[in-house]
Amino acid sequence: MGDPRKIKSKYAGPGHPWQRARLEEERALVREYGLTTKRELWKINSKLKTFANQAKRLIALRTTQAELETKQLLDRVSRLGLLKSGAKLDDVLALTLKDFLNRRLQTLVLKKGLARTPLQSRQFIVHEHVMIGPKKITAPSYIVPIEEETQIAFVANSSLASPEHPERAIKSKPKAVIAKETAGRKSFGRGQRRPQQRQGKPAGKPEAKGEQK
């Protein structure tokens, strides 16, 4: 028995710390889903491997207990919204990190239009502005079941419950930026011919006084 005071890690990090392809993929996912650290990705990857290992083990078995566990696994995956009902064990093996990331509360709050950015969605959840049904959820990584997805809303007494709140309103572009973009559209593009100048005297030089026309 191990030391009861030492909490065992519930996830595993990458086997090699310096793999360029993996680092670039993780960096893109962290930016896209508004994660704070890569540790969140590693936790989700550990859950993904747990489901995959369980599916591999059940595929090789033909017992009554295996059929029961297969049904329980598929029901759980379907309940979490990772797969549709009627899926098979092969579909469990095809799950990816994005399938889990798309079911996180942080992502669903953004998709519902309750926040403008992933980071803002995370802030609303951590600051106890978001609830699912009667319960406040303060964990952005919470995997939302299908039956709870329609119950995501702001807390009733939260100031963010009003659509007119400045943090929820869609900010329009400043007038200076709009004017600059409009001027850029009107400017001559590459390959377009500019109007020819009048022949004779250079344009812009005024005629001298007393000079005959």
The pLDDT score that the predictor gives to residue 9 is: 81
pLDDT tens, position by position, for the chain (213 residues)?
Answer: 566 777 778 888 888 888 999 999 999 999 999 999 999 999 999 999 999 999 999 999 999 999 999 999 999 999 999 999 889 999 999 999 999 999 999 999 999 999 999 999 999 999 999 999 999 999 999 999 999 999 999 999 998 888 888 887 766 556 666 666 666 665 545 555 555 555 555 555 555 555 554
Nearest to 92 by CA among 62, 47, 149: 47
* 3-class SS of residue 103: coil
The pLDDT score that the predictor gives to residue 213 is: 46
* 3-class SS of residue 98: helix
Cβ atoms of 126 and 140 closer than 8 Å: yes
CA distances 172 to 75, 111, 178, 181, Å, are 45, 20, 10, 14
What does the angle CA 40 – CA 129 – CA 27 come to, to the nearest 5 degrees?
Answer: 25
Q: List, in sequence order, the alpha helices (H) in 1-159.
A: 20-33, 39-59, 64-79, 89-93, 97-101, 105-111, 118-126, 146-149
Cβ atoms of 97 and 141 closer than 8 Å: no
DSSP state string for 127-190: TT-EEETTEE---TT-B--HHHHTTEEE-TTSGGGSTT-TTTSPPPPPHHHHHHHHHHHHSPPT
The pLDDT score that the predictor gives to residue 161 is: 87
What does the angle CA 50 – CA 54 – CA 57 come to, to the nearest 5 degrees?
Answer: 140
For the stretch 50-105, pLDDT in tens is: 999 999 999 999 999 999 999 999 999 999 999 998 899 999 999 999 999 999 99
Nearest to 142 by CA among 111, 200, 101, 91: 101
pTM of the model: 0.75
